[in-house]
Every structure is written in C-alpha cells, then in structure tokens.
Amino acid sequence: MKNSYDAIIIGAGPAGLACSAELANKGLEVALLDEQATPGGQIYRNITRTSSRQRTVLGEDYTEGLKVIENFEKAAPDYLPRARVWQAEPNGEVFLSHKKSSKKLTAQFLVLSTGAMERPVPFPGWTLPGVMTCGGMSNLFKDSSLAPTEPVVIAGSGPLLWLVAEHLFALNAPIAAILDTTPSKQYITSARHMPQALGRFGYLMKGVKMIAAVQLAAKKAKVPMYRNVKNIEAVGNEQLQSVKATCGNKQLEFAASTLLVHEGIIPNTALLRQIGCEHTWNPVQRYWHPEVNEHGATNLPAVFVAGDGTFVHGAKSAEYKGRLTAMAIAKQLHRLSKCEYKQQAAPVREQLHKELQPRPFIDALYAPRKDLFAIPDEATVCRCEGVTAGRIREIVAQGFSDHNEIKSIIRCGMGPCQGRMCGSAVLELVAERSGIPAEETRPLRMRPPIKPVSLQELANAQLEETDES
C-alpha cells in the first residue's frame, strides 16, 4: 500500500470492484478499501470462498459475481480488506482503521461505493434475540452455511424476502410461516410502470418464477402463507417465542425461534453524509439518496458515489455505475480523451438504462407501506439509547422536528450507530406527528468517526503525512 493514490474506492461490492478494475486497467493508481475479509460486498459476500453447495443454493445471480471478481483480480488494484473507514474529507483524505491501527490515505478522487442496507423498521419486540433481517440470514449462509434448524417465520416485503424464502426451502429449513406485508393495492398502483418494466421481460419473469416457486414449495410443505399482512409483533421474554400478526380480521400467531424481517433496501449514506454530499428525497421509496449525475459525480468535485449508494438498483446496475464513474475519473485525469470516453461509456450507459427499466415498477410495488412506521408508543426506536416511539412523539408534539435537535435533547440517535438504525423511523415519526413532510426536515448530521475507534488506536494513529511505506 502507498499513502497517496489517483483514486481511492471505498467498498468492494460490485460497484467498487468494477470501478477499481476499470481505473487500474487504464493505468491509474488505485486503492480499494473494504470492511470485509474478502471482496464481493453484501450481494457477492464471501464469493471467493463459498462451496459449490452454497453456490448451488444461492444460484446464478450470486455466481455472476465470480466474473466481477475475475476482472478485478486481473486488473489487480491495491486492495485492503478489513479496513474500516471512519472519516473521509472532500479534499481526498481518508482515515481508516486496519489491524487495530488508524492511518490516513489521500487521493485525487474518492469513490464512495458503500452500497445499501436493509431499511431498519422498529416494531414491538424487534430487539429480542432471535429477530434478524433476511439479509442478515443470507449473510450467515454465505459466510458459514448457517441456516435455521428450528421454526422460522419470514415477514416483510420485497424481492429479498422471496429470495431468502427460496434458499431456506432449498435448505429444508423448518419455515413456520411466510407473511407478506406488501399491501394488495400496491399491485394496482405499481401497474402503470409495467409497460416500461416489460423492456426487461426476462428479468421480470425471473422474479415471477421465483415467487411462484416459493408458493409451490410452501404449498407442498404445508407452510402457511399470508398476503397483505399487518402489525407484525415479536413475542418472548429473553428470546423470541412466537410471532404475531394480523391479516384482515384474522389474528395470526406462529411459534418460532427465529423471525426474519425485511422491509426493503435503502442507500447506506453514513459516509456520504459525513463527507458532505448533498442528498435528495425519494418520495416513492421514502429515503434520502445522494444527488449524483449519471457517472456518480456529487456536489463535491473530488467525490463520486457509485452503486446502490446512489439509489438502490441492484448488483448489475451497480457494476455498470462503477464502470461509468471510473470512466469519468479517467477522463478527468486525461487517461481517456473526450472521444474515447464517449465511445467507451455509451454501451455501458445503454446497458445500465436497460437494467433500470423495471426499477420504477419494483420500487412502486415494494414501496414502504403507509402504516409501516405506525410504531406503538412503547416500542423502542433508538436501540443504542433505549428511546421509545412514545418519547419521540412527545418531543415532536413540543415543536421539535429536526432529528439533530431531537437527538441532542432525548439522545435518540446519539449512540455509537449515530442514528443509522433509528434514522428512518424518526423521520417518519416526525412527519406523522408534526405534519411536516419528511423531505422538509433537516437531515441527521453524521460526525466522524462514523464507526467507533478505540482511544488506544487513536492515540497511536499515524495521521500526519508520512513517506511512502
């Protein structure tokens, strides 16, 4: 590793891998930093090490990642796994923690490809051991072939819910119930995006087939499956014992030791916010995403964002976005002429456009349902500081609508996660109680270090410029 690069890419998912490979292939000095031990991000997590059995279960969409890895390895940019970036600055400085020591790297350009995360949604009992997300389950399987051996309930809305259900059937996991919370009326409201989505008919059919396969498997295995489900509740004392929900007038309850929830995917904007990227509100998916142009340029001249961090579009799009960002940077650093840039970017841009065709339909179909954040007063919202929904409503009723101020006064979002887990919910609770639209409230500020760093490590940190090692 050097201390200084042409470009530093943060996050080794499909966008970061493709971007760093493209830049390295153009002769630029590139470093790819990633928190995990192996490249792949969340979607291709652990792909360099998974067994053929794991790969069979995870299917083609997963093994697609092998090609991305292959290109990346051929291009061979500097790659630093297990590196936690805790601060980045618009002048290209990156502060990171690696092997219990902190240091500073600099680059002319930064590409933040920190991807997406599952939308955290508080509900009664969500902090009980045994409750986790579908993505978390998927990670456990990718990392260590783990799958539940005791009854598991799958609840929520979105493609990942069906994908994980499919995997769990393939693994013969004892599924107690599948509870789809997608409101029926969203099948109608999303229909107007269908014509455009049909441009990628094959992609849509893959989704339809996946859901049909899960339904068939559920029928065969006599697993109860409900649609239009509401009011999910995790019940138990020390550990999850059962899952309650309602479906129409029906009260449901299933004994289970694991509950997998999923309420969609949102950009992971922590580093983007800390560095100072401007954000825009998406009213359909109800999340903040950075304001970027087609190749990921932000309001900060040296900072680009690539991949699902810009807007959740999936792995394939992330790869294209990563490449387009790389080309834009290569052009700025005179490794591509204007003409070459046009020639090379056009086909990638076209592939990206095609890939994006079904997204408005999917985003509308799996939009967060209206009552998703109708959180009961007694439910915990901020896990770090133990702040309930009721306490938040109370302070909003007193006239506070800025999460930053709410944080300072009742500590909601003040813990080590800096509001990553409660941010979405606080936003919606403020909107609900104050009547102020979410997009008009001041977004939560992220302060370095965005990940906790031990005092010993900070004390030993090499943060000043040093000679190349």
Looking at beta carbons only, is 210 or 436 nearer to another protein? 436
- Find the binding residues for another protein in span 88-117 (CB under 8 A): 89, 95, 102, 104
**CA nearest to 153, candidates 44, 241, 215:** 241
DSSP 195-219: HHHGGGHHHHHHHHHHHHHHHHHHH
Interface with another protein includes 461 (CB under 8 A)? Answer: yes
CB of 431 to another protein, least distance (A): 18
CB of 409 to another protein, least distance (A): 5
The torsion region of residue 427 among left (phi > 0), alpha (psi -120 to 50) and beta comes to alpha
Region of 4-12, 147-155, 172-180, 415-423 interacting with another protein (CB under 8 A)? 415-423
Region of 127-135, 224-232, 258-266, 459-467 interacting with another protein (CB under 8 A)? 459-467
Q: How many residues lie near another protein (CB under 8 A)?
A: 28
Looking at beta carbons only, is 61 or 385 nearer to another protein? 385
Looking at beta carbons only, is 283 or 416 nearer to another protein? 416
Interface with another protein includes 436 (CB under 8 A)? Answer: no
Interface with another protein includes 203 (CB under 8 A)? Answer: no
In angstroms, the Cα distances linking 190 to 180, 182, 193, 197, 360 are 17, 12, 6, 10, 8
Looking at beta carbons only, is 200 or 383 nearer to another protein? 383
Out of 202, 220, 455, 465, the only residue in the binding site for another protein (CB under 8 A) is: 455
Region of 24-32, 185-193, 301-309, 442-450 interacting with another protein (CB under 8 A)? 442-450
Contact 431, 372 (CB under 8 A): no
Tell me whether the omega of the peptide bond preceding residue 151 falls within 30 degrees of 0, making it cis: no
Give the 3-state secondary structure of 39-85: CCCCCCCCCCCCCHHHHHHHCHHHHCHHHHHHHHHHHCCEEECCEEE
**CA nearest to 260, candidates 232, 286, 300, 299:** 232
- Find the binding residues for another protein in span 394-413 (CB under 8 A): 402, 405, 408-409, 411
> Contact letters (x/-) for another protein, 30-69, by CB under 8 A?
----------------------------------------
CB of 444 to another protein, least distance (A): 12
Interface with another protein includes 301 (CB under 8 A)? Answer: no
Residue 245 bridge partners (DSSP):
252
Looking at beta carbons only, is 95 or 320 nearer to another protein? 95
CB of 416 to another protein, least distance (A): 5
Query: Which residues have CB under 8 Å from 291's CB, separation 6+?
Result: 277, 278, 279, 280, 298, 299
Residue 323 to residue 317: CA distance in whole angstroms: 10
Q: Give kind and range of the element (H or E) at residue 343.
A: helix 338-356
Out of 464, 465, 467, 468, the only residue in the binding site for another protein (CB under 8 A) is: 464
Looking at beta carbons only, is 367 or 417 nearer to another protein? 417
Residue 169 to residue 152: CA distance in whole angstroms: 11
Out of 11, 296, 309, 415, the only residue in the binding site for another protein (CB under 8 A) is: 415
CB of 394 to another protein, least distance (A): 14
Interface with another protein includes 5 (CB under 8 A)? Answer: no
Contact 37, 83 (CB under 8 A): no
CB of 455 to another protein, least distance (A): 4
CB of 385 to another protein, least distance (A): 8
Interface with another protein includes 449 (CB under 8 A)? Answer: yes
Residue 232 to residue 253: CA distance in whole angstroms: 10
Contact 106, 92 (CB under 8 A): yes
CB of 404 to another protein, least distance (A): 9
3-state secondary structure of 97: strand
Interface with another protein includes 418 (CB under 8 A)? Answer: yes
CB of 453 to another protein, least distance (A): 5
Looking at beta carbons only, is 76 or 463 nearer to another protein? 463
**CA nearest to 258, candidates 115, 333, 119, 146:** 146
Query: Which residues have CB under 8 Å from 38's CB, separation 6+?
Result: 46, 47, 48, 49, 81
CB of 419 to another protein, least distance (A): 11
Residue 253 to residue 288: CA distance in whole angstroms: 35
**CA nearest to 346, candidates 327, 374, 322:** 327
Looking at beta carbons only, is 40 or 415 nearer to another protein? 415
Looking at beta carbons only, is 184 or 398 nearer to another protein? 398
Binding stretches for another protein (CB under 8 A): 87, 89, 95, 102, 104, 276, 402, 405, 408-409, 411, 414-416, 418, 447-449, 452-456, 458-459, 461, 463-464
